[in-house]
C-alpha cells in the first residue's frame, strides 16, 4: 500500500468528509479529475468508499504544460489504487471558451461520471442563474445525483489535500475575470457575505436544496397534464401549464418563456398557431395541439 493510500485510509478528517458526501453504491465510480483540489478530493473520497474507481482526466490542450497535468493526475490515481483514463479535446480560443470547453469535456466523459462540485460551486451557480433570469429550475442549482461533494466546502477539499500531502494543480482560468463565474466568486459572493453578515454560501446552498424539492414536485404534477389537450392546458394552474408546455417542447432544448406563452395563447384560442423554433409550429385543431414542421422556413 502506498503512503498516500495509507494516509487516506487512516485519516479521521477523511472519514468525516466521507460521511457528509453522497456516493451511491454501484459497480464502478467514474470520477472527473482535473487535478484541482475539489476533483482530487472527489477521487480520494471515492477510493475511500472501497468501490472500484476510475479517474478520468480531460486534456483541453489549452496550455503548453497540459501533458504534465495528465501525468500528475495519473500518478495520484495510481498511488490511490484507482484506474486512470485520459482523453484529449481541442478547443479553439475565442468567445464562450468556458462553455465550449465544458461541452467538449462532457462529450468524452462517461455519462455517469461524478464531478467535484462543492457547496461553493452551488452558490456560484445559483447567483449566475439569477443574473441570467432563470426560473426556479435555475435557482435550484445543480442536482446532487452526480455531485457527491455538494455538502462540502471548497476550504475543506483543500484542507484534505494539505493533510494528505497533495499539491493540487492551479487552473489560471480561475483567476481570469473575463469569466462571469470568476467575478461572482471573487467579487459578488464576498460582497453579499459582507452585506448580510452571514455565510452566504451556506444560505444559497440551503435555498437551492429547498427549491430543488419544490421544482421536482412541480415537474411531477406538470407531467400529469396532457399538453396537447387545449382544454386541459387552459384549465390548469398557470405555473403547471407553463411547465407542461416546457416539458413537451424540450427537445432539443427547453423553450424560452416567450415561446411557452405563445403556445398557451394557442391553447386558449387567442391564436390558431405559433412558431416554437427549429422550423416547427404548434397548431390547434379540434381542441388538440400538435407540432408541425413549417415547410416555408
Of 31-35, 61-65, 111-115, 122-126, the poorest mean pLDDT is in: 61-65
In a domain, 140, yes or no: no
In total, how many domains does the chain have? Answer: 2
Please tell me whether residues 10 and 95 are part of one structural domain.
yes
What whole-number distance in Å separates Cα of residue 46 and Cα of residue 40? Answer: 10
**Cα distances (angstroms) measured from residue 121 to each of 94, 135, 169, 171, 184:** 24, 19, 18, 15, 10
Please tell me whether residues 37 and 171 are part of one structural domain.
yes
Q: Average pLDDT for residues 30-42, to the nearest whole number?
A: 97
In a domain, 57, yes or no: yes
Q: Average pLDDT for residues 167-178, to the nearest whole number?
A: 88
pLDDT, residue 297, reads 45
Please tell me whether residues 171 and 52 are part of one structural domain.
yes
The CATH number given to whatever domain includes residue 251 is 1.20.59.20
In a domain, 130, yes or no: no
Please tell me whether residues 166 and 257 are part of one structural domain.
no
Please tell me whether residues 239 and 106 are part of one structural domain.
no
Residue 94's pLDDT band, with cuts at 50, 70 and 90, is low
In a domain, 132, yes or no: no
| Spatial contact of 56 and 30, defined as CB atoms under 8 Å apart | yes
The CATH number given to whatever domain includes residue 56 is 3.40.50.620
How wide is the angle at C-alpha 133 spanned by C-alphas 239 and 155, nearest 5°? 110
Range of the domain at 253: 223-293
In a domain, 262, yes or no: yes
What whole-number distance in Å separates Cα of residue 252 and Cα of residue 284? Answer: 22
Q: Is residue 36 predicted with pLDDT exceeding 90?
A: yes
Please tell me whether residues 102 and 236 are part of one structural domain.
no
Q: Is residue 16 predicted with pLDDT exceeding 80?
A: yes
pLDDT digits (tens, 9 = 90+) for 200-252: 999 999 999 999 999 999 999 999 999 999 999 999 999 999 999 999 999 87
| Spatial contact of 214 and 208, defined as CB atoms under 8 Å apart | no
Please tell me whether residues 96 and 227 are part of one structural domain.
no
In a domain, 137, yes or no: no
Please tell me whether residues 68 and 171 are part of one structural domain.
yes
Please tell me whether residues 234 and 94 are part of one structural domain.
no
Please tell me whether residues 12 and 111 are part of one structural domain.
yes
Torsion of CA 229, 234, 238, 241, to 10 degrees: 10
Question: What is the widest separation between alpha-carbon atoms in the chain?
Answer: 73
What whole-number distance in Å separates Cα of residue 15 and Cα of residue 142? Answer: 25
State the residue for C-alpha cell 406563452.
261
Please tell me whether residues 169 and 256 are part of one structural domain.
no
pLDDT, residue 67, reads 82
In a domain, 202, yes or no: no
In a domain, 198, yes or no: no
Please tell me whether residues 74 and 162 are part of one structural domain.
yes
Phi/psi of residue 59, each to 5°? -95, 115
What whole-number distance in Å separates Cα of residue 296 and Cα of residue 273? Answer: 14
Percent share of the chain, pLDDT over 90? 79
Q: Average pLDDT for residues 178-189, to the nearest whole number?
A: 94
Amino acid at each position: 500500500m502506498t503512503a498516500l493510500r495509507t494516509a487516506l485510509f487512516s485519516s479521521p478528517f477523511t472519514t468525516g468528509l466521507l460521511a457528509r458526501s453522497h456516493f451511491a453504491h454501484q459497480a464502478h465510480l467514474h470520477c472527473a479529475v482535473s487535478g484541482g483540489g475539489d476533483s482530487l478530493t472527489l477521487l480520494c473520497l471515492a477510493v475511500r468508499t472501497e468501490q472500484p474507481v476510475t479517474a478520468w482526466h480531460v486534456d483541453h490542450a489549452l496550455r503548453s504544460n497540459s501533458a504534465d497535468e495528465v501525468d500528475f493526475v495519473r500518478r495520484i490515481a495510481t498511488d490511490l489504487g484507482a484506474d486512470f483514463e485520459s482523453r484529449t479535446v481541442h478547443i479553439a480560443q475565442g468567445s464562450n471558451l468556458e462553455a465550449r470547453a465544458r461541452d467538449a469535456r462532457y462529450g468524452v466523459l462517461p455519462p455517469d461520471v461524478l464531478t467535484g462540485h462543492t457547496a461553493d460551486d452551488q452558490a456560484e451557480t445559483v447567483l449566475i442563474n439569477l443574473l441570467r433570469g432563470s426560473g426556479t429550475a435555475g435557482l435550484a442549482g445543480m442536482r446532487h445525483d452526480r455531485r457527491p461533494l455538494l455538502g462540502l466546502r471548497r476550504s475543506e477539499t483543500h484542507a484534505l489535500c494539505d493533510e494528505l500531502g497533495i499539491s493540487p494543480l492551479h487552473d489560471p482560468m480561475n483567476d481570469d475575470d473575463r469569466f462571469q463565474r470568476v467575478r461572482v466568486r471573487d467579487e459578488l459572493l464576498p460582497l453579499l457575505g459582507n452585506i448580510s453578515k452571514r455565510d452566504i454560501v451556506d444560505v444559497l446552498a440551503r435555498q437551492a436544496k429547498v427549491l430543488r424539492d419544490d421544482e421536482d414536485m412541480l415537474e411531477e404534477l406538470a407531467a400529469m397534464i396532457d399538453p396537447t389537450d387545449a382544454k386541459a392546458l387552459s384549465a390548469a394552474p398557470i405555473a403547471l401549464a407553463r411547465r407542461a408546455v416546457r416539458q413537451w417542447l424540450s427537445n432539443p432544448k427547453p423553450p424560452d418563456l416567450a415561446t411557452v406563452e405563445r403556445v398557451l395563447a394557442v391553447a386558449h384560442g387567442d391564436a390558431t398557431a405559433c412558431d416554437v423554433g427549429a422550423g416547427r409550429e404548434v397548431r390547434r385543431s379540434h381542441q388538440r395541439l400538435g407540432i408541425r414542421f413549417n415547410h416555408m422556413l
